[in-house]
Chains A and B, each alone.
Chain A
């Protein structure tokens, strides 16, 4: 099993580093924007004629809300999801098109082991791709004189990765079904899963909790409450997400057992 994990790591290593770098850049961008946006917001706050969102006050006075709003609830989350999907491509399905499939299948390893090792590495990569950039943000915030709670950083990035594992499961399922090469699979997965996810997220943002789509809005769970504490961890959402992920992986294993390669 160790060797299978090592192989899955080597296979996705480059994409992982790009993900960490890109997500760190996104995080840093908003740290950098803070001193520019806050004065503008403060002005709007004191202007009785300006249109103000309800959270504006929190955004101005609490850096923790600022980070949560732009990163965990918005940009960072979306880009993380895209990278999670990109990272989910690989293993037997891609090798079917790109060649090494017969070498892999000639090795005395079960098809389920191939899928599981792929998934395990993906989980690790997804978690680190959330944790590391956020830690970068936390550290660099200090140099801007901004304090971001380490607890919030770790708990939010972990929540994002755990709840977001459902995308990793879906990515593996779709790529197992498709058996397309790396590039085609990435394109299909991004459009097939990434796009609906973003559309749902936008729609729910507009129509709020009244829409039935709210229940499909995983991004809500991934963001969690802006101030995360032991009392308000969204357990139900996490559980549903993990159950779905397990289901998708189980399905992927069943499908790969049945396929002729």
Chain B
């Protein structure tokens, strides 16, 4: 089955600064894929390239099998994609009602039922000018303008930024509902708890490169926190385990995070005669921090 979104060595540099480096993504249709990374890691640069807002320096991107760098194909991609930008500003001089009428004109598959539901859910005031809306209201409007498009793919850049907890929950429920209808979701977020809740696939970008690309279940199964206790003594100086990150030594224990096979960890540790080995599960947040705080 062809991936709904794929990139081949996609790269973007601004002068000498490399924002995105040889990115290879493959997102399956029907997946809810989270795109994690620090600010400036390359998330927005990637998304902008996918939507035809900026040109790749090299490499290729495809959505629905169409080339993102070709203007005509990009227009077709955007007809079938719902996009919410990180910057949620809209046309200040229009009212809520005006921008809804404006937007729905461009999307033949516009879902009037979803529009009605979202306007009600978010309590959007039809006649109010956008320049008079609070930031949270603007975000809710931006989300409504994209979720009602009836698209096959949602690309959301920080969709919950600035929203109150109830609005966030409403949004996540809505996304789940759309996912239930077979719609694919590609979203970036700093709220790792949300990601953990709804994503089935995670891509993590750090300094322009992909450092993680796996199904959520695999990540939770593979990544473990390991604590090795050496009886009474300090851990041996030359003790090292392949694939260990965020290594910490404290008293007679050495602890680290690893995604390597646990049996391999045991084998590496045995020659040093450890007293006890604890293997514990990790939250996605801890995994993320371990991957970006690279030592």
Contact = CB atoms under 8 A, between A and B. Distances in A.
Q: Do chains A and B touch in the complex (CB under 8 A)?
A: yes
A185 to B, nearest CB: 16
A105 interface: yes
Nearest to A257: B71
B53 A11 contact: no
Interface of chain A, main secondary structure: helix
B73 to A, nearest CB: 11
Nearest to B108: A108
A10 B87 contact: no
B174 to A, nearest CB: 19
B75 interface: yes
Nearest to A14: B93
A261 B51 CA distance: 11
Interface string A84-118: 00000000000000111111011111110000000
A47 interface: no
Given A7-B102, A10-B98, A110-B75, A103 B89 contact: yes
A107 B54 contact: no
Contact of A100 (B54, B71, B81, B91): B91
B167 interface: no
Contacts of B85: 102-103, 106
Nearest to A99: B89
A10 B91 contact: yes
A98 B94 CA distance: 14
A106 B93 contact: no
A61 interface: no
Nearest to B44: A102
Contact of A110 (B71, B87, B91, B142): B71
A102 B94 CA distance: 16
A257 B92 CA distance: 25
A106 B89 contact: no
A100 B78 contact: no
Interface string B99-114: 0001101110000000
B53 A260 contact: yes
A106 B54 contact: no
A261 B53 contact: yes
A43 interface: no
Interface residues of A, number: 24
Contact of B75 (A2, A100, A108, A261): A108
Given A7-B102, A107-B103, A98 B89 contact: yes
Contact of A3 (B90, B106, B146): B106
Given A99-B89, A100-B90, A260-B54, A106 B102 contact: no
B55 A260 contact: yes
B53 A3 contact: no
A105 B85 CA distance: 10
Interface string B161-192: 00000000000000000000000000000000
Interface string B61-87: 000000000010001111101010111
A6 interface: yes
Given A6-B102, A106-B83, A11 B78 contact: no
Interface in A92-146: 98-103, 105-111
Give the interface centre of B48, B71, B105, B145 by most chain A CB atoms within 10 Å.
Answer: B105
B51 A106 contact: yes
Given A10-B91, A10-B93, A260-B55, A106 B98 contact: no
Given A10-B91, A10-B98, A108 B76 contact: yes
Contacts of B98: 10
A105 B53 contact: yes
Contacts of A6: 102
B150 interface: no
B52 interface: yes
A14 B94 CA distance: 12
B76 A11 contact: no
A205 B55 CA distance: 49
A107 B78 contact: yes
Closest 8 CB pairs of A and B: A99-B89, A102-B85, A260-B54, A106-B83, A108-B78, A108-B79, A3-B105, A108-B75
Interface of B: 48, 51-55, 71, 75-79, 81, 83, 85-87, 89-94, 98, 102-103, 105-107, 142, 145-146
17 contacts: A3-B105, A7-B91, A7-B102, A11-B91, A13-B93, A98-B89, A99-B87, A100-B91, A102-B87, A103-B89, A103-B142, A105-B53, A107-B103, A108-B76, A108-B78, A260-B53, A261-B54
Interface of A: 2-3, 6-7, 10-11, 13-14, 98-103, 105-111, 257, 260-261
Given A3-B102, A10-B94, A103-B85, 5 more contacts: A98-B92, A99-B89, A103-B91, A107-B103, A108-B77
